[in-house]
């Protein structure tokens, strides 16, 4: 007669419990999943905490800080970069101002034909509006 093997699945009289290695693997995976969830929650908490501390991480505002106050001292490429970043912003007001600045940059030659210096005045006004909006984001 054969030996009665109580620890084997499918053997009469055995308990349908998976081997210890399987249980350990499941427990390890569960712990890893729990750790990842806790880490994600911590990251979200830190992100919200930092955003509540004031300031803005808007790329357009950061780029705008590098542009001289007078538009005549800035390069066209610097201004275009600010306009693109504003258009990509998650903030509706910045997107609107970015669209307006982009449109006015495209109208440059026509504005200059209307009046000498008109292009610089319009772009200056757009950049000033962006600076105000960025300032409001930082304080509010």
Tens digit of pLDDT for each residue in 31-80?
Answer: 787 777 776 666 665 555 444 444 446 899 999 999 999 988 999 999 99
Of 53, 79, 101, the residue at which a domain comes to its end is 53
Mean pLDDT (whole number) for 84-96:
94
Mean pLDDT (whole number) for 89-99:
94
Q: Are residues 49 and 78 in the same domain?
A: no
Residue located via tokens 């209307």: 114
Six token digits for residue 132:
């105000």
Q: Are residues 39 and 105 in the same domain?
A: no
Q: Are residues 66 and 108 in the same domain?
A: yes
Q: Are residues 72 and 37 in the same domain?
A: no
Residue 36 resides in a domain: yes
Q: Are residues 134 and 70 in the same domain?
A: yes
pLDDT recorded at residue 126? 96
Number of Cβ atoms within 10 Å of the Cβ of 70:
10
Residue 113 resides in a domain: yes
Six token digits for residue 82:
């600010």
CA 59-62-68 angle, 5° bins:
135
| pTM, to two decimals | 0.59
Residue 70 lies in domain: 59-139
For the range 126-131, what are the long-range contacts, defined as Cβ-Cβ under 8 Å and sequence gap of 24 or more?
126/97, 126/100, 126/101, 127/64, 127/67, 127/71, 127/79, 127/82, 127/101, 129/97, 129/100, 130/60, 130/61, 130/64, 130/82, 130/86, 130/94, 130/97, 130/98, 130/101, 131/64
What is the C-alpha separation between 76 and 114, in angstroms, rounded?
Answer: 20
What's the full length of the chain, in residues? 140
Q: Are residues 124 and 85 in the same domain?
A: yes
Q: Are residues 20 and 79 in the same domain?
A: no
Of 53, 77, 98, the residue at which a domain comes to its end is 53
What's the domain count of the chain? 2
């Amino acid at each position: 007669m054969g030996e009665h093997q109580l620890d084997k699945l499918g053997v009469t009289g055995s308990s349908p419990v998976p081997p210890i290695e399987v249980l350990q693997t499941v427990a390890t995976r569960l712990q890893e999943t729990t750790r990842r969830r806790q880490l994600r929650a911590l990251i979200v908490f830190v992100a919200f905490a930092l955003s509540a501390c004031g300031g803005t991480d808007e790329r357009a505002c950061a780029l705008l800080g590098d542009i001289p106050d007078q538009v005549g001292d800035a390069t066209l490429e610097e201004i275009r970069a600010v306009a693109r970043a504003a258009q990509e912003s998650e903030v509706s007001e910045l997107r609107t101002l970015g669209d307006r600045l982009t449109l006015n940059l495209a109208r440059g030659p026509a504005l200059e034909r209307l009046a000498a210096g008109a292009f610089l005045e319009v772009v200056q006004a757009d950049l000033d509006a962006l600076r105000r909006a960025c300032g409001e984001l930082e304080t509010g």
